[in-house]
Structure formats: C-alpha cells, structure tokens
Amino acid sequence: MKIPTPEQVEAMMVEKMGALPQSLNSAKSIDPKFLVEQAMSSKMSVQSEDNPFDPKTSMLLMLASSMTMGSEECMMEQTKMLKKMGVTKAEISYLVKIVKHAHSSAVMGKAKTVFDTFES
C-alpha cells in the first residue's frame, strides 16, 4: 500500500469536504504527518474494502459516535457529508433518538453504584 503525502491527503480532504477540518489544520501546523495518520485510520476502517457497512451507514455510525463524544467539529463535517449522501430528516431524527436512548441507558448503568451504595 502506497502511503500518501500530507499534501495529497489535504487535497483529498478538501475535495471531499470542501475544506480541511480546523482540528486537522491545527494539527498540520504542528506535524503534517497527522493528516496521513488520519487518512490511514479512515482507510483501515470506514473506507476499508472489508467494511461490511455501506458508506452511508458507516458515516451514520461515525456521527453517532461523534454525538456521544461531543465532538462539534466532527458532527458538523459528518452531517455535511451525510447530506451529500442523501440522508433524510427521518434518518437523522432516528439516529438522534437511538443515541439519546443509548446515552440514557448508559447513565442507568453507571447509576448502579449509587443505587447499590444507597441500599447497603
């Protein structure tokens, strides 16, 4: 596998997203190799030939993760890409509902310590 240069990665990202995400622009100023690392991570996961999910489903999974982690920049960029892929309002709505449910379920799981400690 040929590893692209930071300049090639930047050009690909700009073509795909319209601009280099600010976080990667900042990282590039410290070490341009961060762009290559980000691209290789994507190539080994989302863009992998072995990925059993279609590109839209993969991007929805990424958006769900970004919502959970609270990454504003990622949510914005992924939503823009999903709009280009034809995601519907209903799909976004259900994605948010599913993430919200998962988040509230996680809170209940974490609250076990509180419940158990209170009852002991």
Lookup result for tokens 């992924």? 78
The pLDDT of residue 17 is above 90: no
- Label residue 19 by pLDDT band (50, 70, 90): confident
What is the reported pLDDT for 16?
Answer: 86
**What is the average per-residue pLDDT within 33-60?**
92
Lookup result for tokens 């590039």? 28
Integer Cα distance of 26 and 77 in angstroms:
16
Integer Cα distance of 10 and 32 in angstroms:
9
- Label residue 119 by pLDDT band (50, 70, 90): very high
The pLDDT of residue 117 is above 90: yes
The pLDDT of residue 3 is above 90: no
- Label residue 1 by pLDDT band (50, 70, 90): low
User: What is the value of pTM for the model shown?
Assistant: 0.80
The pLDDT of residue 32 is above 70: yes
Task: Report the 10 Å Cβ neighbour count for 119.
Answer: 6
Q: What does pLDDT average to over the chain? A: 92
List phi, psi (to 5°) of 106: -65, -40
